[in-house]
């Protein structure tokens, strides 16, 4: 295993998460290759967006990092410890170091608990402070997510809050134990457009104030440029491009990234013309993924005799910019 740089918080190394397809009475019929050889590093205090269509494997990757899926192979090293190989007692430690914000805030909040009870619960489970100290921490958490005046929210139930307010409670709960890593899975996709930007700015503020690292999972490339330092593009279980956010938007290299960018409504017609050859079609089956480059059946630039046969390696095309595509060999 390679030695980690001192500011690396999370190192995912050649991760594979496959799911068995069982046929009743006939054993295993095949495997869904949901995540297939993913590697990356996340630094302390860094926000990274993982972007891809539904079915690209990004949510499975996130769930594996949370310890909810057992990988078939590879490593998830967090603060020097390999998470899939932790004992149950150590998993409890990990759960205090990693917060999770899910897509549907209403589904994430227990309906019969007040905001105060919801936020106090993780502190009680982690044996943090006495009752007075816990309520002080709950108040600070509400202030941090800007649910003020605090007294207006402490005794409310989730159904008495708007969707944006519910998601702020979810964020407060996810950060109340001062985690080092926050995993946010499409955190604004179910909210009105008017509150999306506010919530992304709130996450950004928490990241800066607490030197929090964030993995932001989304299908929407339009929101990530202003939110993340780097963007990783996922397709059919693999990361196909990694770059600093501005570089990826200004100078995308992978044909699939072109397709994602071309799908963003573009007010400037000069930019709309940037992508002349936009790939079409659907993502492949992850049970029988195409050989070679998994994007080759949709790729307008596919090199016959190469792309459908050999998987492209990750190639460096600029400072901190890597792409898995034979075009740049």
Binding residues (CB under 6 A) for ligand SF4: these are 254-255, 293, 295-296, 299, 301-303, 307, 312, 325-327
CB of 301 to ligand SF4, least distance (A): 4
Nearer CB in complex with ligand SF4: 265/305:
305
CB of 117 to ligand SF4, least distance (A): 50
- Give CA–CA dist 85/90, Å, rounded: 10
CB of 231 to ligand SF4, least distance (A): 17
Cβ atoms within 10 Å of 91's Cβ, excluding its own? 11
CB of 50 to ligand SF4, least distance (A): 18
DSSP letter assigned to residue 298: G
Nearer CB in complex with ligand SF4: 50/303:
303
Nearer CB in complex with ligand SF4: 12/325:
325
CB of 302 to ligand SF4, least distance (A): 4
Sort strands 181-185 and 98-101 into parallel, antiparallel or unpaired. parallel
3-state secondary structure of 149: coil
Strands across the sheet containing 28-43 = 28-43, 8-22, 73-78, 81-82
CB of 294 to ligand SF4, least distance (A): 8
Q: Report whether the peptide linkage leading into residue 247 is cis, meaning its omega lies within 30 degrees of zero.
A: no
**Beta bridge mates, 18:** 33
Nearer CB in complex with ligand SF4: 107/291:
291
How big, in percent rounded to 5, are the helix, strand and coil portions of the chain?
Answer: 35, 25, 40
3-state secondary structure of 40: strand
Nearer CB in complex with ligand SF4: 98/323:
323
3-state secondary structure of 45: coil
Nearer CB in complex with ligand SF4: 27/305:
305
């Amino acid at each position: 295993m390679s030695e980690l740089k001192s500011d690396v918080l999370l190192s995912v190394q050649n991760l594979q998460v496959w799911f068995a397809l069982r046929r009743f009475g006939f054993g295993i019929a095949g495997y869904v290759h949901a995540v297939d050889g993913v590697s990356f590093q996340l630094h302390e205090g860094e926000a990274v967006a993982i972007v891809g269509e539904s079915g690209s494997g990004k949510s499975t990757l996130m769930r594996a990092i949370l310890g909810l899926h057992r990988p078939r192979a590879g490593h998830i090293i967090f603060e020097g410890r390999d998470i899939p190989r932790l004992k149950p007692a150590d998993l409890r430690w990990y759960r205090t170091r990693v917060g999770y914000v899910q897509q549907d805030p209403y589904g994430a909040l227990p309906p019969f608990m007040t905001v105060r009870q919801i936020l106090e619960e993780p502190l009680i489970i982690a044996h943090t402070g006495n009752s007075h100290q816990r309520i002080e921490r709950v108040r600070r958490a509400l202030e941090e997510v800007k649910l003020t005046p605090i007294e207006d929210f402490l005794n409310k139930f989730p159904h008495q809050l708007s969707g944006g307010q519910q998601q702020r409670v979810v964020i407060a709960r996810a950060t109340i134990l001062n985690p080092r890593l926050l995993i946010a899975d499409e955190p604004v996709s179910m909210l009105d457009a008017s509150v999306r930007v506010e919530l992304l700015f709130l996450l950004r503020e928490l990241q800066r104030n607490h030197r929090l690292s964030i993995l932001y999972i989304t299908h929407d490339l339009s929101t990530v440029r202003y939110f993340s330092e780097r963007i990783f593009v996922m397709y059919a279980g693999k990361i196909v491009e990694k770059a600093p956010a501005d570089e990826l938007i200004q100078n995308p290299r992978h044909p699939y990234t072109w397709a994602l960018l071309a799908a963003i409504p573009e007010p400037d017609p000069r930019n709309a013309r940037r992508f002349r050859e936009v790939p079409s079609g659907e993502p492949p089956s992850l049970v029988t993924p195409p050989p070679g480059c998994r994007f080759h059946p949709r790729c307008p630039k596919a090199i016959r005799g190469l792309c459908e046969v050999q998987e492209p390696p990750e190639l460096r095309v600029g400072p901190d910019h890597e792409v898995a595509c034979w075009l740049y060999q």
